[in-house]
Amino acid sequence: MKFLIAPDSFKGSLTAKQVAQSIYRGIVKIFPRAEYELIPMADGGEGTVQSLIDATHGKKIACRVHGPLNTFVDAEYGILGDSRTAVIEMAQASGIQYVTSTTRDPLKATTYGTGELILDALDQGVSKIILGIGGSATNDGGAGMAQALGIKLLKKDNVPISLGGGGLRALDHIDITGLDPRLAETEILIASDVTNPLTGKNGASAVFGPQKGADSVMIASLDSNLHHYAKIIARDLHKSVETIPGAGAAGGLGAGLLAFTHSKMKKGIDLVIEYSGLLKKAQAVDFCLTGEGKIDFQTKFGKTPFGVAKAVKSISPEAIVIAIAGNVGDDLGELYGSTYFDAIFSDLTGVKDLRTAFEDAPHDLEITSENIARMIQAIKK
């Protein structure tokens, strides 16, 4: 038999690789001679770097960059096993974890550090970058990133605008002559499931601004600034980014990437499936085990286990796909079917508080996986 083990992380508890190893330890007790493929997965958000490094035998790169408050932070990104592809989570440089309820300020928060991560990756000789955008503290439309990459965003007197979403109001013209020339030969794949446009009632400021500290007055100002920014981009670069789905992701970083680099928007889970080699490894698989911390009706909206299930069934229609989660919610009916999950299990071995559940996760996953394997064994007999 062939088992494919392709889970996401159990956030706050285990990485995707640790989850896969725990599931493996349970199954191999019952089927020691089976063939196993372990592929740590993610959906483009937190954990994507680690998952793709683990899946491709890549490496981590550490560097010091500017955080959203323009102070230095320590960040990491990955180089995949092919040595030509970098995977970056923008939150490593510009994430909301670097601000507090008293320091957050989307008028000043900048994506400059994200641009520095891109430059560092270029210094490693990569020709392709997978950039996960989410969890940002910023609302600057990717302006800070652009400035880090060598683009000049200038006022009427040719003085650079200030960092942050508040500085966009003074933007008069864009000078791209200083853009790092290596970007002309670099493809950037934007991993995001967000479909919000840059501006308007569904835009970056209105939808995501409040969680970054913006009140109603600030939201209106930020939205107006991004609209002005988009108009200058359209005039000077002949690119219309304001209404593109996903342009509003990460405070408008999606728009900045589309405007200033060779970028394409793709669903995060689709990118991870492609670059982890999941489809190739799913051929002729008998059983696939996947999962993440919580599975409920929202899992079908681009979450890792659902993407894994669809991908595996598309390659091996007869495969049995089983999901394991710490928390199994209600309304699971739409997750079951010939092209999705065959069964869903909770791994909790008893009533316990959240801290204990986190601590017990490796043991609980191993026990649950062993029980699943015993059930398979009994059915086959």
Say if residue 333 is exposed, middle or buried (CB neighbours under 10 Å; 0-12, 13-18, 19+): exposed
Are 310 and 359 members of one domain? yes
Are 169 and 103 members of one domain? yes
Query: Average model confidence (pLDDT) for the chain?
Result: 95
- The SS3 call for residue 33 is coil
Domain count, the chain: 2
* 221 found inside a domain: yes
Are 376 and 235 members of one domain? no
Residue 252 contacts residue 226 (beta carbons within 8 Å): yes
Cα separation, 319 vs 307, in Å, equals: 15
* 215 found inside a domain: yes
What percent of the chain has a predicted confidence (pLDDT) above 70?
A: 100
Pairwise pLDDT comparison (126 vs 298), residue with the higher score: 126
Are 244 and 313 members of one domain? no
Q: Which of 281-295, 325-339, 367-381 has the lowest mean pLDDT?
A: 325-339
Q: What is the pLDDT of residue 378?
A: 96
* 276 found inside a domain: no
pLDDT in tens, 178-226: 999 999 999 999 998 889 999 999 999 999 999 999 999 999 999 999 9
Which letter does DSSP use for residue 161 in this model? P
Are 24 and 95 members of one domain? no
Residue 81 contacts residue 277 (beta carbons within 8 Å): no
Q: What is the pLDDT of residue 354?
A: 85
Residue 86 lies in domain: 48-269
Q: What is the pLDDT of residue 43?
A: 87
Residue 128 contacts residue 85 (beta carbons within 8 Å): yes
* 69 found inside a domain: yes
Are 290 and 204 members of one domain? no
Q: What is the pLDDT of residue 353?
A: 86
Looking up residue 141, the CATH number of its domain turns out to be 3.90.1510.10
* 274 found inside a domain: no
Looking up residue 355, the CATH number of its domain turns out to be 3.40.50.10350
Q: What is the pLDDT of residue 24?
A: 98
Q: What is the pLDDT of residue 350?
A: 85
Domain stop point among 243, 269, 295: 269
* 291 found inside a domain: yes
Residue 338 has pLDDT above 80, yes or no: no
* 277 found inside a domain: no
Are 15 and 62 members of one domain? no
